[in-house]
Amino acid sequence: MYSLQLLLALGCLFGCRLVTAQVDAHCNSVEEPPTVKYMIYPVNGMNQTQNSKNEDFIKSIIGQDTVLDSYTSESEGLLWWFTYMNAGQACLLMKNKTEILLADEIDKYPDGELDRLPRVAPRAPEFTSQNKAVAELVVLSQPKTVPDYTKLQNYVYNVNAGQGTYIYIVEEGIDVETDDLDSKVNQYIFSKTKQKSGNQDDSEDGHTTCVASKAAGKNFGVAKKAELVSVKTSISDPRDISSIFDQILSDVQKKKRQGKAVINLSWGVAPPSNGVVPQHWLIAARHLRKLMNEEDVIVVGSAGNHRQYPGRENIDRYPKIFAADDFPIINVGNTLANGNANKYSQIGPKLHVWAVGTDITCASAKRKDPNKPWSPDRKNYGTSFAAPQVAGLLAYFLSLDTVPFSTKHGTLALNARNFMRDRASYQRGGPGGIANVAWNLVTEDQNKPTS
């Protein structure tokens, strides 16, 4: 093994300045094993010459045999390097950096959380009906003039049903072996850390499969003709957080899906205790903002299920807390079928609309253990399963012959948010539990009570 000093000196042949342990007496422990994960961010990812020098500089500190991974965006150039270092190496890097913005330790940030509670020619008729549909779909097409959803049995919807639209399920893989999702997923995108993970659902208890089923499943979904895109990613690793939305951005641009795509995020990540937004989330927010404001992609997020925890009444996790007019993510709360707000569902000024997320029915992922019993459908609870219904509903609206909100370029996502909040929802529930529940605009003429 070469000595650290020799490696540093060799690195200078490629344009970096000489750095040794003696240069800064505070950077000690350089000989300890490099066991800590770091993200290293360049100042200017488009400057290939400088980034090449930076990479040689990093290697001069970590050694040629240490893993140095990176991600390059087609539109923004180099976004980051990833490697293992000890504290002394990180100290040397930052105290002697040239065009390096930040070396950030990965494991200090909280893990992501899934938002489920424990447990003009002749044409077809404009509307069709799914008879004896699950309650959450019945509620979605509950006319304003029918206050009791139990008087209805069917899910009534426009025959377009999301045709020609795409719903990106950003999570941990979808099980397509279940009947509800058979032939529904025709595209897979894998993040940096999931390249070799396979197509299966790796989420806890089949969470992602259930989410996908509520968005566009044949039996349990809202937009029954929309196509699902499985975006398999870690919901915690900064390598994925800072690159996965750029991958989606590139996909939308290449496939010309502007104005036809919706992203669903049924998870969230707690901010660090110091209140400073980490660099990887600043990058992710930049890419999400581009998707919404430049590529006319709608983004839907789950509100979270922590209202009964002290100090957590309101929405409080990334990326949902970025919600604003220039970041028009649509945050969705969880109600019971009668419209009463679920007591766990987080609220606050960044909540926009509600949907039934309590005791819902969805597709069940196949069990990895063949000895455990398996059923093709299951019950579930949480804002995780309210959000994809709104994502599906927005894909449904985008597929209509006349989209019911303005699709003007650059404002489509914001218009969709305002439309869901102000027009495609109405108040339901009893005193103390009233919620503005999502509605697909069906009237009593189209969905008559059965009794």
Q: Do residues 302 and 249 lie in contact, with contact meaning Cβ atoms separated by under 8 Å?
A: no
pLDDT of residue 30: 56
Tokens of 445: 């003429």
**Rounded CA gap, 441 and 446, in Å?**
10
Q: Global pTM?
A: 0.84
User: In which element (H, E) is residue 263 found?
Assistant: strand 261-265
Give which of 236, 256, 254, 233 is closest to 245, Cα–Cα.
233
Alpha carbons within 13 A on the beta-carbon side of 440: 36
Preceding peptide of 319 cis, ω within 30°: yes
The overall average pLDDT reported for the chain is 86
Tokens of 438: 């999502």
* pLDDT grade for 23, boundaries at 50, 70 and 90: very low
∠ at Cα 440 (126, 434), nearest 5°?
Answer: 155
**Rounded CA gap, 176 and 387, in Å?**
20
CA distances (Å), origin 293, targets 138, 402, 417: 33, 21, 12
Q: Do residues 244 and 293 lie in contact, with contact meaning Cβ atoms separated by under 8 Å?
A: no
Tens digit of each residue's pLDDT (9 = 90 or more) over 225-240: 999 999 999 999 999 9
Tens digit of each residue's pLDDT (9 = 90 or more) over 294-318: 999 999 999 999 999 999 999 999 9
- Which residue's structure tokens are 């044409």? 123
Give which of 320, 279, 335, 298 is closest to 417, Cα–Cα.
298
Count other C-beta atoms under 10 Å from residue 139's C-beta.
24
Residue 19 three-state SS: coil
pLDDT of residue 66: 80
pLDDT of 401 strictly over 50: yes
Give which of 134, 116, 136 is closest to 338, Cα–Cα.
136
Mean pLDDT of 111-138: 77
Give which of 64, 69, 63, 71 is closest to 89, Cα–Cα.
63
pLDDT of 18 strictly over 90: no
Contacting residues for 278 by C-beta, under 8 A, at least 6 apart: 104, 109, 238, 272
Q: Can you give the C-alpha Rg of the chain in angstroms?
A: 24
Contacting residues for 432 by C-beta, under 8 A, at least 6 apart: none
Give which of 213, 136, 138, 147 is closest to 174, Cα–Cα.
213
Largest CA distance in the chain: 85
Tokens of 151: 């008087």
pLDDT of 271 strictly over 90: yes
pLDDT of residue 59: 86
- Which residue's structure tokens are 């909540």? 351
pLDDT of residue 193: 93
pLDDT of 4 strictly over 60: no
∠ at Cα 100 (13, 26), nearest 5°?
Answer: 80
**Rounded CA gap, 345 and 306, in Å?**
7
pLDDT of 412 strictly over 90: yes
Of the chain, the percentage scoring pLDDT greater than 90 comes to: 62
**Rounded CA gap, 451 and 447, in Å?**
12
Q: Do residues 67 and 137 lie in contact, with contact meaning Cβ atoms separated by under 8 Å?
A: no
- Which residue's structure tokens are 């189209």? 446
Count other C-beta atoms under 10 Å from residue 43's C-beta.
14
Contacting residues for 356 by C-beta, under 8 A, at least 6 apart: 135, 136, 139, 140, 334, 335, 336, 337, 386, 389, 437
Q: Which of 157-171, 292-306, 313-327, 418-432 has the least mean pLDDT?
A: 418-432
More confident residue, 10 or 412: 412
